[in-house]
Each structure stands twice: as C-alpha cells, then as structure tokens.
Amino acid sequence: MKIATFNVNGITSRLPRVLEWLEESKPDVACLQELKTSDATFPELAFKAAGYGAVWHGQKGFNGVAVLTRGEAPPVEIRRGLPGDPDDTHSRYLEAQVGDLVVASIYLPNGNPQPGPKFDYKLAWFERLIQHAAELCGRNGPVVLAGDYNVVPTNEVVDIYSAKSWMHDALLQPETRAAWRRLLDQGWTDSILKLHPGEAMYTYWDYFRNRWERNSGLRIDHLLLNASAAAALESAGIDREVRGREKPSDHAPAWVVLNA
C-alpha cells in the first residue's frame, strides 16, 4: 500500500498537476495540504473521475487538507481539526480510516514571522498535535501522520541545502525542533529519514531565487509511522520531478510503501 503526501499550494490552479501525478504515481492514499479553497469548491468530481474518493476540510483562500483513496471505498472521516482549542478556525487537520489504516493529513502552521503571534500559534498548534498523537501512536493497527510539518528537523544535508539564510526562519527554530523531537519520541518513525539517511531528501523549494534550479531545498513534508506501520515499511521516496514541471507547487510529493 502506497501512502503519499503533497502540499499542492492551491488545488484550483494545481489540479492538472495533481491529476497527472496521481495517474503516474498511483498512491493508494494521498494526503493533500494547502487546498486554498472552500468545502463547496473542492473538485470532488475531478478526483472521482480519476478513480479517487475523497474527504476534505476546506477553507476559502488558505489552508485546507484532504485525504484521497484509490478505488471503490472512499476514506471514512474520523475527525476534522485537533482537539484542545474550539476557537481555532484553521483547516489544518483531517483524520480518516482506510481499511485497517488510520491516516492524518496535516498542515502545521508556518509560524513566520518569528517571533510573534504566528510563531506562538505554530507552537500551540504543535502542542495540540503532540497531545492527540500520543493516543494514535499506541494504536495496535497502522497509523500514518502525513503532511507539511513546516519543520526542518536538523541542519544536516538530508534536511536542508544550507541553513545559513534560514537561521531566523520559524522552520528551523530550537522551539520548533524541540516540539518535533518530542513528537517523534512518542515512538513515531520518520520514514524518509529511516530509509534514506545521509541523502538530500528535500520536499520543498522556494519559488524565490531559483531555489529549484540550484536544488536549494528543505525537507519539511514528513510521513510518521507508529510501530505497527513502521514494521510494514518497505520503501519511501520523493517524487522530485513533479517540482520541475510547468506551474508546479513549491512542494514535491513524498510517499511510503507499506506491505499489505
């Protein structure tokens, strides 16, 4: 079973790229982020025609997450939004059941500029994720937390081409990394890192400054596996070529294959 995550940066303008990628990569489950469209305008029928059922949590203009599944059975929604803050209006978390698998599509706040209220919101949202993830981690069956975490875990080459111009960015701050570490320490496996240590496994290249052409990338899209899913991990990768196409997202899809 192939499970992928893709920050599409606007599903309305990105739809041709996303459909093309689904056709090529054929994930069984696809978690999308940054739909930037409302629930009413999500392109459900286009995905259905491509062979994918969907659940989605949209928002006009920004944010928005979805889970797609290939074939007959659509995903079954478990929850939308994280517990812990009834005043949080952002569409950033969608959890679904796909057969025996529990999967979450996550769009963690960017947090820039830092310091400031947006960074505070990022850290607070992260705490709510950590709280909720603790229950999921101990589940007997497989769980995959997939999405754009807006975290560059380390300054190593696997995570970033160079930290120099990103030192003050919210994605690299010690508080951000400490939260990431606490999440992983619950028992999650960072699947891309596990199978590709030491390689440059970037998933995001800024539109600015020819960052794609220079391969000046960051690893910020992650697929975390609980023990049951980690025991089934067969392979993992990045569909880099998607970033090099016409009118691309600034992210490339990342994926894992679990046996059975």
Q: Cβ closer to DNA: 36 or 240? A: 36
| Closer residue to DNA (CB): 30 or 102 | 30
CB of 26 to DNA, least distance (A): 24
Residues near 86 by beta carbon (within 8 Å), at least 6 away in sequence: none
- Residues whose CB is less than 8 angstroms from the CB of residue 69 and which lie 6 or more positions away in sequence, other chains included: 28, 29, 30, 52, 53, 54, 75, 98
Task: Exactly one of 107, 149, 202, 204 is catalytic; name it.
Answer: 107
> What gap in Å lies between CA 103 and CA 100, rounded to an integer?
10
If DSSP codes are grouped into helix, strand and coil, which group holds residue 139?
Answer: coil
Residues forming beta bridges with residue 119, ordered by sequence position: none
Of 14 and 70, CB closest to DNA = 14
Please name the residue that has the structure tokens 């950033």. 92
Annotated active-site residue in 28, 148, 169, 221: 148
Minimal distance, residue 193 CB to DNA, in Å: 22
Nearer to DNA, 113 or 141 (CB): 113
Work out how close the CB of 77 gets to DNA at its nearest, in angstroms, rounded to a whole number.
Answer: 23
CB 67 within 8 A of CB 29: yes
46: tokens are: 């286009």
Strands annotated E in 86-168? 93-98, 101-107, 143-148
Smaller CB distance to DNA: residue 18 or 230? 18
Q: How far is the CB of 137 from DNA (least distance, A)?
A: 26
Known catalytic membership, residue 85: no
- Least Å distance, CB 6 to DNA, is 14
User: Among 120, 149, 118, which Cα is nearest to 133's?
Assistant: 149
120 in catalytic set = no
Q: Which residues bind DNA (CB under 7 A)?
A: 9-14, 36-38, 60-63, 109-110, 112, 118, 165, 207-209, 247
Residues marked as catalytic: 107, 148
